[in-house]
Amino acid sequence: MKNQPIALKVLNVVTAILFLAALGMVFLYAPLEATMNYVQKIFYFHIANAWVGMLGFIAAAVAGVVYLVKHDLKWDIVELAAVEISLVFFFIAIVTGSIWARPSWGTYWTWEPRLTTAAILELVYLAYLLLRQGIDDPDRRARFSAVYTLIGAISVPITFVSIRLFRTIHPVVIGTNSSATQGGFDMTSKMLVTMFFALFTFSILFITLFWHRIRLGQLAHQLDQLKLEE
């Protein structure tokens, strides 16, 4: 396996700087929310993790489509990398959402539409990892995974629009007055800037981790090829 390319090394540094800047904006630049005070600051991490998680699941579906067209196993590596990283980000989104929900709703969890669909989405892709392990043939495993990610991707838009289609206590951050729901709040201009900077930072963080995970997957594939040649 070759050493990290210069672009990746630069991206590592840029990601670290952006992450530190995002932390500074969350805790020093964004004002305190009048009702929730410091508890509200978890919102920036919650929405950023949710955004990146959904973005990665869509990226996995795109990689699945490319694999079905080209039948090149490198796209299976890309697809798996996207799913694994997104599962972690989306799980963090669920956890941070639960922490935020406790002072806002009086409970860590309630089976309202957004939380229910988010839990199903996480389980769908956990099942993806478990089912992959049961298939030994690489080509068959890749075909199954590609089709699965295409079907699984349907749950992403369902999760996103659930708070717009169904009656819910989950605030709609973008597109309506978020203070209209329990635990919601109006964002000032500084809060908006911080939110979008957090979204940008976590997107870059995702790209960095994605690149590293793809390189790791390529190394694992090379080791498998060497074992077959022995």
Nearest to 114 by CA among 171, 57, 59: 171
pLDDT at position 167 is: 61
Could you report the average pLDDT of every consecutive run of 10 residues in the chain (230 residues)? 85 97 94 77 92 94 96 94 96 90 77 84 94 90 95 88 66 53 66 94 97 92 71
Could you tell me if residue 195 is inside a domain?
yes
Largest alpha-carbon pair distance within the chain?
Answer: 66
Is residue 173 assigned to a domain? yes
pLDDT attached to residue 150:
94
Collapsed DSSP state (helix, strand, coil) of residue 154: coil
pLDDT, position 182: 47
**Residues 6 or more apart from 194 whose CB is under 8 A from it?**
22, 25, 26, 29, 30, 44
Would residue 25 count as lying in a domain? Answer: no
Q: Return the pLDDT at 166.
A: 60
Q: Is residue 139 part of a domain?
A: yes
Residue 121 located in a structural domain:
yes
Assessment of whether the complete model's pTM goes beyond 0.75: yes
- Domain of 170, in residue numbers: 43-229
- The two tokens of residue 200 are 């940008």
Closest CA to 173 of 30, 67, 48: 48
Instruction: Name the domain count of the chain.
Output: 1
How many other CB atoms are found less than 10 A from the CB of residue 230? Answer: 4
In this prediction, residue 230 carries a pLDDT of 60
